[in-house]
Amino acid sequence: MDIALRPSLEIDMAKKILVVDDKLEIRQLLKSYLTQEGFDVVAASDGKEALFAARQSKPDLIILDLMMPEMNGYDFIRSYTREADAPIIVLTARLEEIDKVSGLELGADDFVTKPFSPRELVARVRAVLRRVEKQEKPAVILRAGEITLDRDSRIVTVGENFVDLTPSEFEILALMMAAPGRAFTRLELLERLQGAAYEGYERTIDVHIRNLRSKIESDASQPKYVETIYGVGYRFAPTKDL
C-alpha cells in the first residue's frame, strides 16, 4: 500500500486496540480487518484474559463483548476502569435500553450490535480515538466554584478532593465548563461525544449527567453546577451564579 495515499495511517499505526470476544471467528475477523486498517491489535477471549492483556499492552481503545464466560463484559469494565481510562466500545448481540444504560453507568463510550459492519465499527473506532486525541491538546485549566478541570492531565478536583470521571463524563463536564450559561441539547451532547456516526438514545446523556452530578455536586438532587434546562437539555451554571 502506498503510505502517501493514507496520510492518517501513521497516526493509526500507533494506536493499539484490544478486542475481547469469546467467539474465535469474531476475534479473527476484527483482528484481520483492523490490522488492514493500520491498527495494532491484541485479542482476548474473556474478561480475565482481557484484564491481563490490557495491563500488559496498555490499549488506546477496547472493543468488548458483554456476554462471556469467566468474566463478562460488565465485570471487566468495572475492574479495568478503576485502573485506566481507555475508551470502550461495547460489541453485543443484545442492545436493550437497560443494557445500554448499565454499560454507560459503568463507563462504556459507544455501542455496536451484532451482526455488525466492520466498516462501521472502524468508523466508530476512529471517531472515539479522534475525540480522545482532541482531549490531549496543551493544558487548558477550567475553574468554576470549587471545581478545577485540567484538560491536559485529565484531572478534576472539587475543593481538595480528586474526582474519578469516565471519559464521557469528563468530556461533558469540559464542554459545558468551557461555555458556562450555554444550554446544550441532549442530541448536541451525543454528537459531540461520539461524532457524526453515533447511535444512541437521548437518555444516555441523562445517565452521564446523573453520574456526573453524583461525583461533583454536594447534593445531586439539588445541583449547583450542572443545571437542567427543561425542554432543552443541560447547562453549566453561569460563573456569576457560583
Task: Give the start-to-end residue ranges of the domains of the chain.
Answer: 3-134, 141-241
Give the strands of the sheet with 183-185, arranged side by side: 183-185, 233-236, 226-229
pLDDT of residue 201: 60
Q: Which is higher by pLDDT, 201 or 237?
A: 237
Locate all alpha helices (DSSP H) within the chain, ordered by sequence: 9-13, 24-36, 47-57, 73-80, 97-106, 118-134, 167-177, 186-194, 203-216
Express each pLDDT in 206-226 by its tens digit: 999 999 999 999 999 999 999
Looking at per-residue confidence, does 102 or 214 come out higher?
A: 214
Cα separation, 141 vs 149, whole angstroms? 6
- The one-character DSSP state at 237 is P
pTM over 0.75: no
The pLDDT of residue 190 = 82
Fold of the 3-134 domain = Rossmann fold (3.40.50)
- Average the pLDDT over 104-130 and give the result: 84
Going from the C-alpha of 127 to that of each of 109, 161, 210, the distances in angstroms are 11, 32, 24
Q: Could you read off the pLDDT of 1-36 as tens digits, one per residue?
A: 333 333 333 333 468 999 999 999 999 999 999 998
Tell me the pLDDT tens digit for each residue of 39-84: 999 999 998 999 999 988 889 999 998 888 888 888 898 888 877 7
Q: If you average pLDDT over every residue of the chain, what do you get?
A: 83
pLDDT at 198: 47
CATH architecture of 141-241: Orthogonal Bundle (1.10)
pLDDT of res. 10 = 37
Q: Is 165 exposed, middle or buried (0-12, 13-18, 19+ CB in 10 A)?
A: buried
Q: What angle do CA 237, 241, 242 make, to 5 degrees?
A: 85
Cell triple for 186:
441532549
**pLDDT score at 159:** 94
Q: Are 197 and 190 in contact (CB under 8 A)?
A: no
